[in-house]
Chain A
Amino acid sequence: MKTLAEYQRAIARRVWRWVSRHPSPPRVQGPRVPIPRERLEHHSGLWGREHPREWEWPAYLDPAAAPWLATLRRLYASPLSFPASLSPEAGLLVHALVRNIRPRVVVETGTWIGISSIWIASALQANGDGGRLHTFDLFLPIRPDQWRDAELEEDRVGFVRRNFAEAGLEDVIEIHQGNSHANIRAMQATLAAAGGNASGGRGGGVQLAYLDGDHGVEGACQDLWAVEPVLATGGYILLHDIFPEYSGDEDGPRHILDRVNEIGAGVYDKCEVCLSPANYGLAVMRRVG
């Protein structure tokens, strides 16, 4: 005959067995029934206005103040910059984020003509603690499309490298040509070892990843999964073109954003940010687990 205490222990064992077999569901941000995205949009997007045909250089940035600003000014004047490059407003936001977050190892997928790289690398240079940007792109030739009459005659790698040199940023940026996720995987060991610094910040891999490469669901996920194993805890991921209804692209970034805490290996905080003048959207994600 069992004593009361034995019964209690048996019940506790069964409860514990049940609980341990049913882990709590992953933490998902947002309301139970999500509010549709268009209702979250508080600014005018493009309603009632023409879609811009080129990026407009803002008056508060003086190209004479720094060589990289002059290079950016020149690149924005080129028809190749629209609409695939970051707008000047969005570029300044990425620059300001890098200046404040102070990463020392940054990975970028999708160099295009190097505008986003210059925004990031100039911030790393101004931070002055030896940060490096690794930029990955296939560097396929640029062809005309519906937004763009121009095409790039010369080799894109050479073009981008020359711009970086003119901006005075060539020793901050490393260019990696080829499939981005394969190349990132190939240098995971190097990235994981980098990032420490003398003044007490801990290393441990990539501290900021700007993902703007392949926009398909498969390609975007591949980039994420290549970066994740070497992303520092507390490290940031920036996703561009998260509003497919504006960016008119495939919805890989959107897919990542909606499911990152299910498909990602880490746990992420995130905040979606509208962009100007065309609301392609930028997501700021931070790995917190």
Chain B
Amino acid sequence: MSDASADTPKPKSGPSRPGALPRHALAFFPRLRDEAEHPTAWAWPGYLDAASCPWLGALRDLYSTPWAFPASLSPEAGLMLFALVRNLRPRVAIEIGSFIGVSTIWMAAAMREAQPDASGPILHAFDDFGPMAPGPWRDERLDDRLGLFRRSLAAADLERFVAIHPGDSSTQVRALHGLFRPSPEAVRAAWASPIADWPGGVDFALIDGNHTVEGVRRDFEAVEPVLNTGGYVMLHDTIPEQCGDHQGPRHLLDHLGSVARGVYERCELHTAPLNYGMALLRRVG
């Protein structure tokens, strides 16, 4: 590895598991050489244009606003999230960190495909919806984030599938534990019957909110008690060297064994075009 590591930035945190390879040894993803190569907007893939789909149109409009880059999921990563949710078919899902609603629309559209006649909200979106100051790569400020979020959901025709919970995410999730937590009777009933009605619990959680070590841990600990066995957790921005030095998701991944109550199997994924990284966890114990 020494021959190739000359031009490789050294990661700040070391490997978590004893004997594990350092993260940079695993990467074959092309790296950006200089600022000029850095994209300044997300490119919508042309093959996703379907005239008959309002939610795809709403997404494309959202991607063309000045706020979508770089904090929203890229279209490629969004497509991956959509395809995962579409295949996993969670009955109820949580999203922490809605931002302007890009990931919400990707997830809610996938959940609608599986449960088109759901009677109530099946995706619960948590965010503080505070005003957004200009940042790197983002020149404009946005004060009414909740308004933009609601308008986009309405344009995508997904309002009735999404419950919006503004406020501190971990507090809000904890406050809703009574809604999510399965009662023993409901669980028994669902296992006995061949029709899998929702016995409570959350089947999929996207955690993309507060990116500090403490914030991610709080969100994860708030979700865990209501996460079903066999449920999935997805983390975004897991490669701090690539995504602006947010250490929280990485820290959670590296210390999963000591932080988590359950046992998780995991696979880390790249994201294109900027490799902010995602990780898919599945609770198997």
Contacts and interface: CB of A to CB of B under 8 A. Distances in A.
Interface of A: 27, 29-31, 34-35, 39-45, 47-48, 58-62, 65-66, 68-69, 89-90, 92-93, 95-97, 99-104, 122, 126-127, 129, 195, 197, 199-204, 207, 232-235, 269-276, 282, 284-286, 288-289
Contacts of B84: 93, 96, 273
Contact of A48 (B80, B87, B195, B271): B195
A88 to B, nearest CB: 10
Given A35-B229, A89-B83, A199-B31, A99 B272 contact: yes
Contacts of A35: 229-230, 284-285
Contacts of A289: 19-21
Given A273-B84, A276-B88, A286-B26, 13 more contacts: A35-B229, A47-B195, A96-B83, A100-B269, A100-B270, A100-B272, A195-B28, A201-B28, A271-B265, A271-B282, A272-B282, A276-B87, A286-B268
A278 B265 CA distance: 23
Contact of B87 (A41, A90, A101, A207): A90
A159 B268 CA distance: 37
A127 B43 CA distance: 12
B25 A233 contact: yes
Contacts, number: 198
B124 interface: no
B27 A59 contact: no
Contacts of A103: 28
A57 to B, nearest CB: 11
A148 to B, nearest CB: 23
Contact of B88 (A195, A204, A273): A273
Interface string B254-280: 000000000101111111100000101
A244 B109 CA distance: 29
Candidate in B4, B29, B56, B278 with the most chain A CB atoms within 10 angstroms: B29
Contacts of A201: 27-31
A13 B8 CA distance: 39
A55 B50 CA distance: 19
A195 B28 CA distance: 9
Candidate in B31, B80, B280 with the most chain A CB atoms within 10 angstroms: B80
Interface in B175-219: 194-196, 201, 203
B230 A39 contact: yes
Interface in B12-37: 17, 19-21, 25-33, 37
Contact of A102 (B29, B32, B280): B29
A253 to B, nearest CB: 16
B195 A29 contact: no
Nearest to A284: B267
B118 interface: no
A93 B82 CA distance: 8
B231 to A, nearest CB: 6
A283 to B, nearest CB: 9
B25 A97 contact: no
Contact of B267 (A31, A62, A286): A286
Contacts of B19: 289
